[in-house]
Structure 1
Amino acid sequence: MKHDDLSYRDSVQQGRRNAFLFAGAAGLAGLMFGLDTGVIAGALKFMGLDLGANERAQEWIVSSLMLGAAGGSLLAIPVSHYRGRRGAMFYAGLLFLLGTALCSLAPSIPIMIAGRVCLGIGVGFASFSAPLYIAEITEKSQRGTMISLYQLVITAGMLLALLSDSLLSYGGHWRWMLGILAVPTVIFILATTQVPYSPRWLAMRGRRREARGVLQKVRGSRERANNELDRIEQNLRKTRGNGLALLKTSAGFRKTLALGMALQIFQQLAGINILLYYAPHLLEHLGFSVQSAVWCTTLLGLANMVATGAAIMLIDRWGRRPLLLISTLMASFSLCAFGFVLFAHVGGSMGSIAIIALLVLFTLGYALGEGPVPWTMCTEIQPLQGRGLAIACSTFANWITNWLISNVFLSIMSLIGDYGIFWLLAGFNAVFFLISYFLVPETRGCSLEDIEQRVKAGYPLREIGQPVRPSATMQSGRE
């Protein structure tokens, strides 16, 4: 009997290792996401000189990826439905490869923009399908950690891209900065061909035997596989209706959909992405050398990754709401102070130290809450029947806002001044704080079923999770 128990435990452990490997392969999509969005920061200056791109053209080069990602996040829905999450990731890899080739070999600005749009569509495919695949292939006990680690991998990809840019900046080798990404792209494409289809997608397509086979491989036993397959099929029967039908009938769902979109919109209005995209340009404008500006941007990428790692450890201990409130306060303060440094024309070494310190403080504050919390909450607060529609809408809102602000950042900065643009961003973060304080619920430790019941019962948004007293909003969610 003990031998049988040992064999069962070994089988379960092997299943978990298989699930981790498959989820890790899918997680490479996050690495590609980070690499392709982060690489432009160091390359923009040099490609602008070679291709003769003025500030307006540079804005389009940067923002075209986000426009492609917005469209790709919507296209990913039918592709993921009909070709599976694995299929969507494979197509993302092909789009990454094609976009990398177009960008690194681009003889003109239109070809560069076409390549960036191609990369963006791939990012949209990856940002929709990879987290979904990870959630469906891993066990419930590992799911939150694995999805959070996916967010960490994105920041690691951005850091690697910025580090590569820094090393290649001495020779101005912007084509190498872009072209070297073909290597991890090929690895990602090969990885997607080795992972199985997700069991939930197979069950949705009526391929029950294949679904059981995959579940047995990642759960380690036939009994566990059969039990999970039964639960999957029960959930599929419960959610035959679509999100549009729920949107018409449920005022609670309309409120959570609006909150999810607001969280994603203000995540982008917070300013982190335009800071990372344009930081070298901004720092050069403030008197830094080209190489110093790129290396300082790499430091911001490191701060982003470190704080994201801290958020992963704290989000289930302190709660979503405290992290978001602390984050928005840190971001508002640092950007407001940064604007005053620029307004006062603080120069010399003191000015340089203040500039870098405040930008690092902003990045740490953003990554602690404004970065990871909206993605987590947008899944948690939505009813199961409308979750797909809500996530698609909030993701689309995120990318469209990202495109809009990256497309006009340099133009607005030339219009209202460098200090004015950062005071504007500080104002957006202050509004984000108010939204978080008055509307965002605390969902730490709440089951998705309990949240869904409160949403459908018409509870106020702030009360669909744990009850939060106004005087205790900065506590660690113990109420």
Structure 2
Amino acid sequence: MVGIAAVRNDVAAGQAQRSTKRATALGILAALAGLMFGLDTGVVAGALPFISTDFHATDALQGWIVSSMMAGAAFGSLFAGRISVRFGRTGAMLGAAVLFLSGTLLCALAPSAAVLILGRVFLGLAVGIAAFAAPLYISEITVESARGSMISFYQLMVSLGIFLAFVSDSILADGGHWRWMLGIMAVPASIFLGIVLILPHSPRWLMMKGRTESARKVLQNLRSDEEVAEAELQDIQARIKHSSDAGFGLFRKNKHFRRSVFLGMLLQVMQQLTGINALLYYAPRVFQAAHFGTSAAIWATTLVGLTNMAFTAVAIAFVDRWGRRPLLILSCTIAAASLLGVGVLLGVGATTFAMQLVLCGLVLVFVAGFAIGEGPLVWTLCSEVQPTRGRDFGIGCSTVTNWSANWAISKTFPLLMVAMGASSTFILFAVFNGLFILMTLFMVPETKGVSLETIEANLFAGKRLRDLGR
């Protein structure tokens, strides 16, 4: 069989390695799922102080209000793989769009904390499905030379959503309009619903369903050369036909597939242990612990969102130039050092204006460090290391793991702040970032410029995880 790499040597290499404008545009549209993810993640930070006042919420109830979305996301991601297999990646995103809209309306109109929690569970279901389907879809329509940037663009949309939610919260904070903070998300939810309806199915999903001609037409529209498209079609077909096992059956029988699944799950756990989501969900509370006023804390939180978005753009610019491993190691190092500084300052007591500025600066440095690697690259790697016939199952496992860890941390963070103190809590997160460096050195492969089919072949050949891209 003539592989796609061989064909690319016979055609113009630069042309063959480019995604067409259509593939890029479709990838960007699919990445808007990340925008919804970010909006619903970020909006609760500014709204929570006012929700707590209106509903007389205790620390434990605040934890449930925040973490209910994560619980819904973990539950939704359990079924996301099955939905994606049956209805396609676009079908899964369509279901998520409907849930985004219904959950938003339920939250904005909630007469009680219980109804608000139910609405956030709906939003969580949407996020769990979308976080599974969108990166998978993007990885399957994009060529390897742009795959890292395009999947990272999904994370940029998450960051943009968080930032826009923080800005909206800041504008509405003076009047305490938390219902408007939550309800305004119905506008992007409606737009996303309309966009999903125009996305074509993934060619890999079409091949898995035996719809070869449809897959060929989609690939010809997405690639810069028909020969390249045909060779990629043959590679996909060969991988699918290689074994009748798929999903859990492949996981049970094949030790090499189990390795890739466990790597994806471990990456997601480590991402959550960095402390980023605890900071995003409770940022005003962290700044208030450093003696910021309520309004100042919410505006400082907006700076967090802006930094997250800006440095995710840096990751997009360099992920396909520098590679995954160097960026991830740099990211973990910056995050560990800055969080250690935050912990020390909180321990000393940031009581002066100058110390508050330094603390705010260290928080922003941490967010910048996370955004250039730990944030986007975990999702990129999780979508790259799973083989074609086990991709839905493998990414499903990593997505469930992400949201389960996210739920556990968001639920326990307020209690940790009380039990351990803010200083010790952030020093603990610094230690976890240091452990992430060791994991990257010993387990994470460099997948820059490597086709999904080559990574799959190396996996089943028994190569070490960190050598899958060689």
TM (norm. structure 1) is 0.88
Within 2, Cα distance between the matches of 1:461 and 1:146?
A: 23
The residue matched to 2:197 in structure 1 has which SS? helix
The answer to whether 1:350 aligns with 2:354 is yes
The answer to whether 1:404 aligns with 2:430 is no
Unpaired runs of 5+ residues, structure 2, are: 1-15
The residue matched to 1:79 in structure 2 has which SS? helix
Within 2, Cα distance between the matches of 1:303 and 1:28?
A: 19
Could you tell me which residue of structure 2 aligns to residue 121 of structure 1?
125
The answer to whether 1:161 aligns with 2:158 is no
Within 1, Cα distance between the matches of 2:418 and 2:69?
A: 23
The answer to whether 1:136 aligns with 2:136 is no
How far residue 39 of structure 1 moved from its aligned partner, in angstroms, is 0.8
Q: Which moved more, 1:66-75 or 1:404-413?
A: 66-75
Larger Rg: 1
Unpaired runs of 5+ residues, structure 1, are: 1-11, 467-479
- Where relative contact order (Cα < 8 A, 6+ residues apart) is larger, the structure is 2
Within 2, Cα distance between the matches of 1:67 and 1:353?
A: 35
Cα separation, partners in 2 of 1:24 and 1:454, compared to 1, 3 Å: closer
From 319, 332, 338, the equivalent of 1:334 is 338
Cα separation, partners in 2 of 1:255 and 1:82, compared to 1, 3 Å: closer
Within 1, Cα distance between the matches of 2:331 and 2:213?
A: 47
From 386, 390, 393, the equivalent of 1:389 is 393
How far residue 447 of structure 1 moved from its aligned partner, in angstroms, is 4.5
The residue matched to 1:315 in structure 2 has which SS? helix
How far residue 42 of structure 1 moved from its aligned partner, in angstroms, is 0.6
Cα separation, partners in 2 of 1:328 and 1:144, compared to 1, 3 Å: closer
Within 1, Cα distance between the matches of 2:393 and 2:360?
A: 40
Within 2, Cα distance between the matches of 1:356 and 1:77?
A: 40
Q: Which moved more, 1:293-302 or 1:455-464?
A: 455-464
Cα separation, partners in 2 of 1:353 and 1:383, compared to 1, 3 Å: same
From 322, 326, 329, the equivalent of 1:325 is 329
Within 1, Cα distance between the matches of 2:444 and 2:139?
A: 24
Could you list the per-position Cα deviations for residues 164-196 of structure 1 after superposition, in whole angstroms to 9, with x for gaps in the alignment?
111111111110011001111111111122223
How far residue 248 of structure 1 moved from its aligned partner, in angstroms, is 3.6
- Please show how residues 412-451 of structure 1 align to structure 2 within 5 Å: 412-451=416-455
Within 1, Cα distance between the matches of 2:326 and 2:222?
A: 35
Number of residue pairs matched by the alignment: 453
Within 2, Cα distance between the matches of 1:290 and 1:284?
A: 7
- Please show how residues 4-403 of structure 1 align to structure 2 within 5 Å: 16-219=20-223, 229-403=233-407
Within 2, Cα distance between the matches of 1:267 and 1:415?
A: 23
Cα separation, partners in 2 of 1:47 and 1:24, compared to 1, 3 Å: same
Cα separation, partners in 2 of 1:141 and 1:342, compared to 1, 3 Å: closer
Cα pair 2:139 2:384 within 8 Å, conserved: no
Within 2, Cα distance between the matches of 1:347 and 1:167?
A: 27
Within 1, Cα distance between the matches of 2:91 and 2:454?
A: 33
Cα separation, partners in 2 of 1:142 and 1:433, compared to 1, 3 Å: closer
Cα pair 1:239 1:384 within 8 Å, conserved: no
Cα separation, partners in 2 of 1:317 and 1:136, compared to 1, 3 Å: closer
Cα pair 2:36 2:189 within 8 Å, conserved: yes
Within 1, Cα distance between the matches of 2:66 and 2:109?
A: 17
Cα separation, partners in 2 of 1:239 and 1:457, compared to 1, 3 Å: closer
Cα pair 1:327 1:370 within 8 Å, conserved: yes
Cα separation, partners in 2 of 1:132 and 1:212, compared to 1, 3 Å: same
The residue matched to 1:84 in structure 2 has which SS? helix
Cα separation, partners in 2 of 1:224 and 1:455, compared to 1, 3 Å: closer
How many percent identity over aligned positions?
49
How far residue 358 of structure 1 moved from its aligned partner, in angstroms, is 0.9
Within 1, Cα distance between the matches of 2:267 and 2:318?
A: 19
Could you list the per-position Cα deviations for residues 370-394 of structure 1 after superposition, in whole angstroms to 9, with x for gaps in the alignment?
1122222223333444333221111
Cα separation, partners in 2 of 1:359 and 1:92, compared to 1, 3 Å: same
Cα root mean square deviation, aligned:
2.4
Q: Which moved more, 1:71-80 or 1:161-170?
A: 71-80
Q: Counterpart amino acid of 1:80?
A: S
How far residue 239 of structure 1 moved from its aligned partner, in angstroms, is 4.9
Within 2, Cα distance between the matches of 1:379 and 1:283?
A: 35
Within 2, Cα distance between the matches of 1:447 and 1:214?
A: 18
How far residue 151 of structure 1 moved from its aligned partner, in angstroms, is 1.6
